Amino acid sequence: MSVLAGREAAGGAPEPGDLLEGTEWVAAPPSARSRARPAFGAALRIAAPPLLAAALALTLWEAWVRAFEVREYLVPAPSAVLRALAADPARYLGAARVTLAHALGGLAVGAGSAFLLAVVMAHSRPLERALYPLAILVKVTPVVAVAPLFLIWFGFNAWPKVLVAALITFFPMLVNAVTGLRSVEPAAFDFLRALDASRWQLFWKLRLPSSLPYVLAALRISVPLAVIGAVVAEWFAADTGVGQIIVIANGELDTPTLFAAVLVLALIGVTLTLAIAYIEHRVLFWHESSTGV
């Protein structure tokens, strides 16, 4: 059949963006711009609610301080906090980079080692019973007590901050990863075993995908904990970082600067949490946590 006959059979000229292939109209593949729209919409849906809530909270805070004439050294207004940020933005930006590096390093060490240990524990009940009490010991150890010891053992460098952040993020990842690695469909497990699947194939094809919702949920919990751990370690010995700004501002009763540093920490935590939530939305498109079913 000719191209003209195909056009007539189709009932007229093609719509713009359609391609002619034989006698059928075939929709053109979506452009890069159209593919980017769903991703942007998903990011906007994730970011909009917390941003609106933060704007409302700041507005009420400013109104309360002005209405009751609260002294600045007790509770500064958001406008005073913003003035403190604007007075020396380079200081806060440099400190944020240092604290972010400590937090991400601790998250990588803590969550990574916890996941590897979870893989071992998920395959061995006796080993899990032997190691789980030690994991609980790590969980209940006060970070404030351990941070000075890490400074003595590893020196006044980045390692104590990274290790404190790793310590505080270890347990949530371990518990969630073990649960996720064991949360496999029995029918799927029996099917792969019937096909003589190896341990590696069972892990890669079944256990790892089943654990992803639990692992990403643990990351959302661990991200703010990593920031807290890094800041606590910076309180004890650091010549830079947001924790160091907080210590100096507290000693000088410079409450606007202290609140500005806390705001920087909040922005770091929110940004990292939103990034994990976006990754979770993209990776777990098949899971009920993303589909809403």
* DSSP string computed for the chain: --HHHHHHHHTSSPPTTEEEETTEEEEPPPPHHHHHHHHHHHHHHHHHHHHHHHHHHHHHHHHHHHHHT--TTTS--HHHHHHHHHH-HHHHHHHHHHHHHHHHHHHHHHHHHHHHHHHHHHT-HHHHHHHHHHHHHHHHS-HHHHHHHHHHHH-SSHHHHHHHHHHHHHHHHHHHHHHHHH---HHHHHHHHHTT--HHHHIIIIIHHHHHHHHHHHHHHHHHHHHHHHHHHHHHS-SSSHHHHHHHHHHTT-HHHHHHHHHHHHHHHHHHHHHHHHHHHHHTTTSHHHH--
Q: What is the pTM of this model?
A: 0.75
Q: Please state the domain count of the chain.
A: 1
- Asked, for residue 21, whether it belongs to a domain, the answer is no
The pLDDT, as a whole number, for residue 3 is 43
- Asked, for residue 282, whether it belongs to a domain, the answer is yes
The pLDDT, as a whole number, for residue 92 is 94
106: domain CATH number is 1.10.3720.10
| pLDDT of 157 strictly over 60 | yes
| pLDDT of 43 strictly over 70 | no
| pLDDT of 206 strictly over 70 | yes
pLDDT tens digits for range 94-150: 999 999 999 999 999 999 999 999 999 988 888 888 888 888 888 888 888 888 899
Residue that wins the pLDDT comparison between 282 and 82: 82
The pLDDT, as a whole number, for residue 264 is 95
| pLDDT of 214 strictly over 50 | yes
- Asked, for residue 276, whether it belongs to a domain, the answer is yes
| pLDDT of 289 strictly over 90 | no
Segments forming the whole domain that contains residue 204: 53-291
The pLDDT, as a whole number, for residue 45 is 77
- Asked, for residue 31, whether it belongs to a domain, the answer is no
Percent of the chain scoring above 90 in pLDDT: 43
| pLDDT of 27 strictly over 50 | no
- Asked, for residue 35, whether it belongs to a domain, the answer is no
- Asked, for residue 134, whether it belongs to a domain, the answer is yes
- Asked, for residue 135, whether it belongs to a domain, the answer is yes
| pLDDT of 20 strictly over 60 | no
Arithmetic mean of pLDDT over the chain: 83
| pLDDT of 195 strictly over 90 | no
pLDDT tens digits for range 53-70: 988 998 999 999 999 988
| pLDDT of 83 strictly over 90 | yes
Mean pLDDT confidence for 168-179: 93
Mean pLDDT confidence for 177-189: 85
| pLDDT of 19 strictly over 50 | no
- Asked, for residue 43, whether it belongs to a domain, the answer is no
Q: What's the pLDDT band for 4 if we cut at 50, 70, 90?
A: very low
pLDDT tens digits for range 215-271: 999 999 999 999 999 999 998 876 789 999 999 999 988 999 999 999 999 999 989
Which of 38-42, 196-200, 261-265 has the highest average model confidence (pLDDT)? Answer: 261-265
| pLDDT of 42 strictly over 50 | yes
